[in-house]
Chain A
Amino acid sequence: MESTVQNLRRVTLFTDLSDEALTRVANVAFRRTYEADETIIFEGDPCRAAYFIAEGRVRVYRLSPGGREQVLARLGSGQTFNTVPPFQPQGVNHATVEALTPVALYVIVREDFRRLVGECAELALVILQDFADRLDHLTNLVEDLSLHTVRGRLARFLLEHASAAPGGSGVGIQATRHWTQEEIAAHLGTVRDMVGRTLRAFADAGLVRVERQRIILLDREGLEAEVQH
């Protein structure tokens, strides 16, 4: 049991829980392992549990009716998934989750999770804080999706994530963190193909230049105009 407590302590959601509260979580959590490529839960299936990643990486995605896949997130050790549906009366899994590597999870079945949150105010508070953060993020995303096209959202993303000041270094550019097109798509609530297509459209319009491992912003005013779309 001690190792379960120690492992659960590494889950971000549980980091600040008291030993007593965490022991209560450990009493109902059980460890389960999956091979790479194995599907852990399917979108639309009745929710049976909440999951906490001890080791490995998973991919969370949804499929459109046309079969188009939207990757919502890639999660690793310390992160959680399927913590929302247990609290819905007819809760179903909101997305499919697949193991990218061998994965070890701590699983808390739906009924235990609900009961625990009802009995332990400390746990209820951290769950509420997590949900509040998600709600905040989703509210911003809904506003973005309602008011802006992918062109507008991508233009804003590029402006917000490029280096703060143009042309500051000796070679005329300043480095920022690295992004894959899929990560950008997940951030914007769209799919990778749309990001690639829109980047090419921006390049054709002279707003950016896409080079090896670099998206170079060329026209600030043009990109700011795109944000309004």
Chain B
Amino acid sequence: MKLLMEDWALPEIDLTLCNRCGTCVARCPTGAVEMGSDGPFIARPADCTYCTECESMCSQEAITCTYEIVWGMDS
């Protein structure tokens, strides 16, 4: 099945809160985050596992990984 990237949720980076410290780039286990001229961005979305490491390490709380709580089909 083809992966539709618009359905591929990614951590959200609020550049107005970001201080460009680069921790998210350094700590991303899959190297999906890079530092651009405006700040960090998910350069390789397909590599992002949504592990939330970037969110937990961000001292500025500029990165958020959100979850919706839903019922599974058989529950």
A: residues with CB less than 8 A from B are 36-37, 57, 59, 74, 100-101, 158, 161-163, 165-167, 172-182, 192, 196, 209-210, 212-220
Contact = CB atoms under 8 A, between A and B. Distances in A.
* Chain B, interface SS category: loop
Interface in B41-75: 50, 52, 55-56, 60-61, 64-75
B31 to A, nearest CB: 18
Given A213-B9, A213-B50, A179 B72 contact: no
Interface of B: 8-9, 16-17, 19, 50, 52, 55-56, 60-61, 64-75
A101 B52 CA distance: 22
Contact of A178 (B16, B50, B68): B68
Contacts of B60: 36-37, 100
Contacts of A218: 72, 74-75
Given A59-B61, A100-B61, A219-B75, A175 B19 contact: no
Contacts, number: 98
B67 A163 contact: no
A182 B65 CA distance: 10
Contacts of B64: 180
A174 B75 CA distance: 12
Contact of B66 (A174, A180, A217, A220): A180
B69 A100 contact: no
Nearest to B48: A212
Given A100-B61, A192-B56, A216 B16 contact: no
A216 B72 contact: yes
A162 B67 CA distance: 11
